[in-house]
Amino acid sequence: MAKSRYLAGKKIVPHPIPGGIRVTDLIDNYFQAYNAARLKEAAQLFAQKMLAPDVTIGMSLTGALTPAGLGGSCVVPLIKSGFVDWIVSTGANLYHDTHFAIGHSLHKGSPFVDDTLLRKEGVIRIYDILFDYEVLLSTDAFFRHLIAQPEFQKEMGTAEFHYRVGKYVAARERKLGIKNASVIATAYRYAVPVYTSSPGDSSIGMNVAAMALDGFGLKIDVSKDVNETAAIVLNAKRKGGRSGVLIFGGGSPKNFMLQTEPQIQEVLGINEKGHDFFIQITDARADTGGLSGATPSEAVSWGKVDPSKLPDTVVTYLDSTVAMPIITSYALAKRKPRKPKKLYLRLPELMESLKKEHDRVKHKLK
Protein backbone atom coordinates (compact mmCIF):
# COMPACT_ATOMS: atom_id res chain seq x y z
CA MET A 1 0.00 0.00 0.00
CA ALA A 2 1.10 3.55 -0.72
CA LYS A 3 2.22 5.47 2.34
CA SER A 4 -0.36 8.03 3.50
CA ARG A 5 0.52 11.66 2.88
CA TYR A 6 -0.37 12.29 6.51
CA LEU A 7 2.75 10.36 7.50
CA ALA A 8 5.12 12.71 5.68
CA GLY A 9 6.11 14.59 8.84
CA LYS A 10 9.39 14.06 10.63
CA LYS A 11 9.55 11.04 12.90
CA ILE A 12 9.26 11.65 16.64
CA VAL A 13 12.61 10.50 18.01
CA PRO A 14 12.89 10.15 21.81
CA HIS A 15 16.58 11.03 22.13
CA PRO A 16 17.74 11.91 25.67
CA ILE A 17 18.28 15.64 26.23
CA PRO A 18 22.01 16.35 26.88
CA GLY A 19 23.18 18.64 29.65
CA GLY A 20 23.96 22.23 28.72
CA ILE A 21 21.79 22.21 25.61
CA ARG A 22 21.19 25.56 23.89
CA VAL A 23 17.67 26.96 23.69
CA THR A 24 17.76 26.83 19.89
CA ASP A 25 18.65 23.13 19.88
CA LEU A 26 16.06 22.36 22.55
CA ILE A 27 13.30 24.03 20.51
CA ASP A 28 14.33 22.67 17.12
CA ASN A 29 14.95 19.08 18.21
CA TYR A 30 13.00 18.34 21.38
CA PHE A 31 9.74 20.32 21.20
CA GLN A 32 8.01 17.58 19.24
CA ALA A 33 4.29 17.57 20.06
CA TYR A 34 1.33 19.39 21.61
CA ASN A 35 1.93 22.99 22.66
CA ALA A 36 5.69 22.44 22.74
CA ALA A 37 5.42 21.83 18.98
CA ARG A 38 3.22 24.90 18.59
CA LEU A 39 5.79 26.97 20.48
CA LYS A 40 8.48 25.64 18.17
CA GLU A 41 6.36 26.61 15.16
CA ALA A 42 5.85 30.09 16.61
CA ALA A 43 9.56 30.60 17.31
CA GLN A 44 10.54 29.34 13.88
CA LEU A 45 7.88 31.37 12.08
CA PHE A 46 9.00 34.51 13.91
CA ALA A 47 12.72 33.98 13.31
CA GLN A 48 12.64 32.48 9.83
CA LYS A 49 9.88 34.48 8.12
CA MET A 50 8.57 37.39 10.15
CA LEU A 51 11.99 38.90 10.74
CA ALA A 52 12.61 39.39 7.03
CA PRO A 53 13.54 43.03 6.35
CA ASP A 54 10.29 43.78 4.48
CA VAL A 55 7.97 42.72 7.35
CA THR A 56 6.55 45.35 9.71
CA ILE A 57 5.98 43.67 13.07
CA GLY A 58 3.41 44.74 15.62
CA MET A 59 3.47 43.32 19.15
CA SER A 60 0.56 43.35 21.60
CA LEU A 61 1.04 42.95 25.35
CA THR A 62 -1.71 41.85 27.71
CA GLY A 63 -1.48 40.58 31.26
CA ALA A 64 0.95 41.65 33.97
CA LEU A 65 4.11 41.04 31.94
CA THR A 66 6.29 44.02 32.88
CA PRO A 67 5.94 43.48 36.65
CA ALA A 68 7.41 40.01 36.07
CA GLY A 69 10.48 41.61 34.47
CA LEU A 70 9.61 40.64 30.90
CA GLY A 71 9.74 44.23 29.68
CA GLY A 72 13.44 44.60 30.31
CA SER A 73 14.37 40.96 29.71
CA CYS A 74 12.44 40.40 26.48
CA VAL A 75 10.69 43.42 24.94
CA VAL A 76 13.68 45.76 25.30
CA PRO A 77 16.11 43.40 23.48
CA LEU A 78 13.53 42.81 20.74
CA ILE A 79 13.15 46.57 20.21
CA LYS A 80 16.91 47.15 20.23
CA SER A 81 17.37 44.38 17.65
CA GLY A 82 14.77 45.93 15.34
CA PHE A 83 12.47 42.94 15.83
CA VAL A 84 9.46 45.01 16.95
CA ASP A 85 8.25 48.02 14.94
CA TRP A 86 5.10 49.09 16.84
CA ILE A 87 3.38 48.07 20.06
CA VAL A 88 -0.12 47.97 21.51
CA SER A 89 -0.10 47.45 25.27
CA THR A 90 -2.38 47.68 28.22
CA GLY A 91 -1.76 50.88 30.14
CA ALA A 92 -1.01 48.77 33.21
CA ASN A 93 2.03 47.20 31.55
CA LEU A 94 3.44 50.64 30.74
CA TYR A 95 2.70 51.95 34.23
CA HIS A 96 4.44 49.02 35.95
CA ASP A 97 7.27 49.23 33.40
CA THR A 98 8.00 52.72 34.73
CA HIS A 99 8.62 51.48 38.30
CA PHE A 100 11.94 49.93 37.30
CA ALA A 101 13.16 52.96 35.35
CA ILE A 102 12.60 55.43 38.20
CA GLY A 103 14.45 53.34 40.75
CA HIS A 104 11.81 51.19 42.44
CA SER A 105 11.97 47.46 43.13
CA LEU A 106 9.48 44.62 42.89
CA HIS A 107 10.09 41.36 44.72
CA LYS A 108 9.54 37.64 44.22
CA GLY A 109 7.05 36.25 46.70
CA SER A 110 4.32 33.69 47.26
CA PRO A 111 0.77 33.65 45.90
CA PHE A 112 -0.37 32.02 49.14
CA VAL A 113 0.23 34.87 51.58
CA ASP A 114 -2.54 36.47 53.65
CA ASP A 115 -3.73 39.48 51.65
CA THR A 116 -5.34 41.11 54.68
CA LEU A 117 -1.90 41.18 56.32
CA LEU A 118 -0.35 42.55 53.13
CA ARG A 119 -2.91 45.36 53.17
CA LYS A 120 -2.05 46.22 56.79
CA GLU A 121 1.66 46.28 55.98
CA GLY A 122 1.24 48.33 52.79
CA VAL A 123 2.32 45.58 50.40
CA ILE A 124 0.77 45.12 46.94
CA ARG A 125 0.49 41.65 45.38
CA ILE A 126 0.31 40.65 41.72
CA TYR A 127 -0.01 36.88 42.16
CA ASP A 128 3.53 36.04 43.40
CA ILE A 129 5.05 39.52 42.88
CA LEU A 130 5.17 41.80 45.93
CA PHE A 131 6.03 45.49 46.23
CA ASP A 132 5.59 48.44 48.55
CA TYR A 133 2.46 50.59 48.24
CA GLU A 134 4.77 53.62 48.09
CA VAL A 135 5.89 52.41 44.66
CA LEU A 136 2.41 53.21 43.37
CA LEU A 137 2.29 56.61 45.07
CA SER A 138 5.73 57.57 43.76
CA THR A 139 4.94 56.44 40.22
CA ASP A 140 1.64 58.32 40.31
CA ALA A 141 3.49 61.46 41.40
CA PHE A 142 6.01 60.98 38.57
CA PHE A 143 3.25 60.82 35.96
CA ARG A 144 1.39 63.79 37.42
CA HIS A 145 4.59 65.83 37.33
CA LEU A 146 5.02 65.00 33.63
CA ILE A 147 1.37 65.67 32.76
CA ALA A 148 1.76 69.15 34.29
CA GLN A 149 4.56 70.06 31.88
CA PRO A 150 3.74 72.59 29.09
CA GLU A 151 4.31 70.07 26.27
CA PHE A 152 1.44 67.90 27.56
CA GLN A 153 -1.18 70.67 27.59
CA LYS A 154 -2.91 69.64 24.39
CA GLU A 155 -4.78 66.80 22.70
CA MET A 156 -2.63 63.95 21.42
CA GLY A 157 -2.75 60.25 20.58
CA THR A 158 -1.26 57.67 22.89
CA ALA A 159 1.78 57.17 20.64
CA GLU A 160 2.73 60.83 21.07
CA PHE A 161 1.93 60.70 24.78
CA HIS A 162 4.13 57.65 25.34
CA TYR A 163 6.92 59.08 23.18
CA ARG A 164 6.97 62.25 25.27
CA VAL A 165 6.79 60.26 28.52
CA GLY A 166 9.55 57.99 27.22
CA LYS A 167 11.90 60.96 26.88
CA TYR A 168 11.58 61.69 30.61
CA VAL A 169 11.74 58.03 31.63
CA ALA A 170 14.91 57.60 29.57
CA ALA A 171 16.40 60.67 31.26
CA ARG A 172 15.57 59.25 34.70
CA GLU A 173 17.21 55.95 33.73
CA ARG A 174 20.39 57.79 32.73
CA LYS A 175 20.45 59.85 35.93
CA LEU A 176 20.05 56.75 38.11
CA GLY A 177 22.52 54.68 36.08
CA ILE A 178 19.81 52.16 35.16
CA LYS A 179 20.20 50.40 31.80
CA ASN A 180 17.69 48.59 29.62
CA ALA A 181 14.95 48.43 32.26
CA SER A 182 12.10 50.20 30.52
CA VAL A 183 10.05 49.39 27.42
CA ILE A 184 8.72 52.93 27.18
CA ALA A 185 12.22 54.46 27.40
CA THR A 186 13.65 52.06 24.82
CA ALA A 187 10.69 52.65 22.50
CA TYR A 188 11.46 56.38 22.73
CA ARG A 189 15.12 55.83 21.86
CA TYR A 190 14.26 53.66 18.84
CA ALA A 191 11.16 55.67 17.79
CA VAL A 192 8.83 52.68 18.16
CA PRO A 193 5.23 53.94 18.48
CA VAL A 194 3.48 52.56 21.56
CA TYR A 195 -0.32 52.60 21.76
CA THR A 196 -2.79 51.86 24.53
CA SER A 197 -6.13 50.64 23.26
CA SER A 198 -8.00 51.67 26.45
CA PRO A 199 -6.16 54.74 27.71
CA GLY A 200 -8.50 55.30 30.65
CA ASP A 201 -8.14 51.75 31.94
CA SER A 202 -4.92 52.00 33.97
CA SER A 203 -3.22 54.03 36.67
CA ILE A 204 -1.75 56.24 33.94
CA GLY A 205 -5.25 57.04 32.70
CA MET A 206 -6.41 57.63 36.27
CA ASN A 207 -3.69 60.22 36.77
CA VAL A 208 -4.54 61.89 33.44
CA ALA A 209 -8.15 62.12 34.65
CA ALA A 210 -7.09 63.55 38.02
CA MET A 211 -5.01 66.22 36.32
CA ALA A 212 -7.97 67.13 34.13
CA LEU A 213 -9.96 67.87 37.29
CA ASP A 214 -7.18 70.24 38.28
CA GLY A 215 -7.50 72.13 35.00
CA PHE A 216 -4.60 70.66 33.02
CA GLY A 217 -5.11 70.31 29.29
CA LEU A 218 -4.01 66.80 28.29
CA LYS A 219 -6.64 64.91 26.29
CA ILE A 220 -6.20 61.57 24.55
CA ASP A 221 -7.36 61.37 20.92
CA VAL A 222 -8.37 57.74 20.42
CA SER A 223 -9.42 58.38 16.80
CA LYS A 224 -5.85 59.36 16.02
CA ASP A 225 -4.68 56.03 17.43
CA VAL A 226 -7.13 54.08 15.26
CA ASN A 227 -6.03 55.85 12.09
CA GLU A 228 -2.31 55.84 12.86
CA THR A 229 -2.23 52.09 13.46
CA ALA A 230 -4.16 51.52 10.23
CA ALA A 231 -1.69 53.79 8.43
CA ILE A 232 1.25 51.75 9.75
CA VAL A 233 -0.22 48.51 8.39
CA LEU A 234 -1.28 50.03 5.06
CA ASN A 235 2.18 51.49 4.55
CA ALA A 236 3.75 48.09 5.18
CA LYS A 237 1.68 46.62 2.36
CA ARG A 238 1.86 49.52 -0.09
CA LYS A 239 5.66 49.65 0.02
CA GLY A 240 5.88 46.07 -1.24
CA GLY A 241 6.27 44.65 2.22
CA ARG A 242 4.24 42.54 4.60
CA SER A 243 2.62 42.88 8.02
CA GLY A 244 3.01 40.51 10.95
CA VAL A 245 1.49 40.48 14.44
CA LEU A 246 3.02 38.92 17.54
CA ILE A 247 0.30 38.70 20.19
CA PHE A 248 1.00 37.94 23.84
CA GLY A 249 -2.33 37.36 25.58
CA GLY A 250 -5.52 38.71 24.06
CA GLY A 251 -8.04 41.28 25.19
CA SER A 252 -8.28 44.83 23.95
CA PRO A 253 -4.67 45.16 22.70
CA LYS A 254 -5.12 42.10 20.47
CA ASN A 255 -8.31 43.47 18.96
CA PHE A 256 -6.84 46.95 18.52
CA MET A 257 -3.88 45.52 16.63
CA LEU A 258 -6.02 43.27 14.41
CA GLN A 259 -8.77 45.81 13.72
CA THR A 260 -6.32 47.78 11.58
CA GLU A 261 -7.32 45.67 8.59
CA PRO A 262 -11.12 46.06 9.01
CA GLN A 263 -10.49 49.78 9.48
CA ILE A 264 -8.62 49.84 6.16
CA GLN A 265 -10.99 47.57 4.22
CA GLU A 266 -14.45 47.79 5.78
CA VAL A 267 -14.55 51.35 7.11
CA LEU A 268 -12.22 53.30 4.84
CA GLY A 269 -13.07 51.21 1.77
CA ILE A 270 -9.44 50.66 0.73
CA ASN A 271 -8.61 47.46 -1.12
CA GLU A 272 -6.51 45.22 1.13
CA LYS A 273 -6.33 41.55 2.18
CA GLY A 274 -5.19 41.27 5.81
CA HIS A 275 -2.10 40.62 7.90
CA ASP A 276 0.45 38.21 6.45
CA PHE A 277 1.73 36.64 9.68
CA PHE A 278 -0.08 35.87 12.94
CA ILE A 279 1.41 34.45 16.13
CA GLN A 280 -0.54 34.35 19.38
CA ILE A 281 0.39 33.08 22.80
CA THR A 282 -2.80 32.66 24.83
CA ASP A 283 -4.49 30.68 27.57
CA ALA A 284 -7.98 31.59 26.32
CA ARG A 285 -10.31 29.06 24.69
CA ALA A 286 -11.93 29.69 21.32
CA ASP A 287 -15.26 28.07 22.24
CA THR A 288 -16.28 30.81 24.70
CA GLY A 289 -16.65 33.28 21.83
CA GLY A 290 -14.27 35.86 23.28
CA LEU A 291 -11.77 37.74 21.16
CA SER A 292 -8.88 36.57 23.34
CA GLY A 293 -9.35 32.99 22.15
CA ALA A 294 -10.40 33.71 18.57
CA THR A 295 -8.31 31.80 16.05
CA PRO A 296 -6.54 33.11 12.93
CA SER A 297 -9.06 31.31 10.72
CA GLU A 298 -11.89 33.17 12.46
CA ALA A 299 -9.94 36.39 11.90
CA VAL A 300 -9.93 35.60 8.16
CA SER A 301 -13.71 35.96 8.11
CA TRP A 302 -13.32 39.53 9.37
CA GLY A 303 -10.61 40.42 6.88
CA LYS A 304 -8.02 40.67 9.66
CA VAL A 305 -5.80 37.93 8.23
CA ASP A 306 -5.07 37.28 4.56
CA PRO A 307 -6.77 33.90 3.83
CA SER A 308 -3.89 32.83 1.60
CA LYS A 309 -1.51 33.26 4.55
CA LEU A 310 -3.17 30.88 7.03
CA PRO A 311 -0.15 28.50 6.85
CA ASP A 312 1.85 31.36 8.36
CA THR A 313 -0.27 31.54 11.51
CA VAL A 314 0.34 29.82 14.84
CA VAL A 315 -1.57 29.78 18.12
CA THR A 316 0.23 28.41 21.18
CA TYR A 317 -1.84 27.73 24.29
CA LEU A 318 0.70 28.68 26.90
CA ASP A 319 1.47 31.24 29.60
CA SER A 320 3.15 34.29 28.03
CA THR A 321 5.71 34.37 30.86
CA VAL A 322 6.97 30.98 29.62
CA ALA A 323 6.75 31.62 25.88
CA MET A 324 8.12 35.16 25.68
CA PRO A 325 11.65 34.43 27.01
CA ILE A 326 11.91 31.33 24.81
CA ILE A 327 10.80 33.09 21.62
CA THR A 328 13.03 36.08 22.41
CA SER A 329 16.09 33.93 23.06
CA TYR A 330 15.46 31.88 19.91
CA ALA A 331 15.05 34.96 17.69
CA LEU A 332 18.14 36.72 19.08
CA ALA A 333 20.20 33.58 18.48
CA LYS A 334 18.88 32.87 15.00
CA ARG A 335 18.69 36.32 13.39
CA LYS A 336 20.98 39.30 13.07
CA PRO A 337 19.52 42.65 14.14
CA ARG A 338 17.32 44.47 11.63
CA LYS A 339 17.60 48.18 10.87
CA PRO A 340 15.02 49.97 13.08
CA LYS A 341 12.10 51.34 11.04
CA LYS A 342 11.57 54.27 13.48
CA LEU A 343 7.91 54.46 12.56
CA TYR A 344 7.05 57.08 15.14
CA LEU A 345 9.07 59.66 13.23
CA ARG A 346 7.19 58.75 10.04
CA LEU A 347 3.64 58.91 11.37
CA PRO A 348 2.73 62.23 9.67
CA GLU A 349 3.86 60.80 6.30
CA LEU A 350 1.97 57.53 6.88
CA MET A 351 -1.19 59.36 7.90
CA GLU A 352 -1.04 61.49 4.75
CA SER A 353 -0.78 58.35 2.60
CA LEU A 354 -3.77 56.78 4.39
CA LYS A 355 -5.85 59.92 3.86
CA LYS A 356 -4.96 60.09 0.17
CA GLU A 357 -6.10 56.52 -0.41
CA HIS A 358 -9.30 57.11 1.53
CA ASP A 359 -9.99 60.30 -0.44
CA ARG A 360 -9.53 58.43 -3.72
CA VAL A 361 -12.09 55.85 -2.61
CA LYS A 362 -14.56 58.59 -1.65
CA HIS A 363 -14.05 60.29 -5.03
CA LYS A 364 -14.79 57.05 -6.92
CA LEU A 365 -18.02 56.57 -4.95
CA LYS A 366 -19.35 60.00 -5.90
Q: Domain map of the chain by residue range?
A: 58-365
Q: Fold for 58-365, please state it.
A: Deoxyhypusine Synthase (3.40.910)
CB 313 within 8 A of CB 345: no
Residues 147 and 211 sit within 8 Å (Cβ to Cβ): yes
pLDDT, residue 366, reads 65
In terms of Cβ atoms closer than 10 Å to its own Cβ (0-12, 13-18, 19+), residue 325 is middle
Q: How far from each other are the two terminal CA atoms of the chain, in whole angstroms? A: 63
Give the separation between CA 130 and CA 139, rounded to whole angstroms: 16
Cα gap 184→180, rounded to integer Å: 10
Give the pLDDT score at 78. Answer: 98
**CA nearest to 221, candidates 137, 157, 126:** 157
- Find how far residue 113's CA is from the centre of its chain: 31
Catalytic residue list:
304
* The amino acid at 5: R
> For position 287, what pLDDT does the model report?
80
pLDDT by residue, tens only, the chain of 366 residues: 678 988 888 899 899 999 999 999 999 999 999 999 999 999 999 999 999 999 999 999 999 999 999 999 999 999 999 999 999 999 999 999 999 999 999 999 999 999 999 999 999 999 999 999 999 999 999 999 999 999 999 999 999 999 999 999 999 999 999 999 999 999 999 999 999 999 999 999 999 999 999 999 999 999 999 999 999 999 999 988 999 999 999 999 999 999 999 999 999 999 999 999 999 999 888 888 877 887 778 888 888 888 888 888 999 999 999 999 999 999 999 999 999 999 999 999 999 999 999 999 888 776
DSSP letters spanning 89-134: E-HHHHHHHHHHHTT---EE--TTS-HHHHHHHTEEEETTEEEEHH
Q: Count other C-beta atoms under 10 Å from residue 201's C-beta.
A: 14
Residue 285: its pLDDT value, please? 80
pLDDT in the model for residue 80: 98
Q: What residue type is assigned to position 19 of the chain?
A: G
pLDDT of residue 252: 93
Rounded to an integer, what distance in angstroms lies between the CA atom of residue 17 and that of residue 25?
Answer: 10
3-state secondary structure 40-81: HHHHHHHHHHHCCCCEEEEEEECCCCHHHCHHHHHHHHHHHC
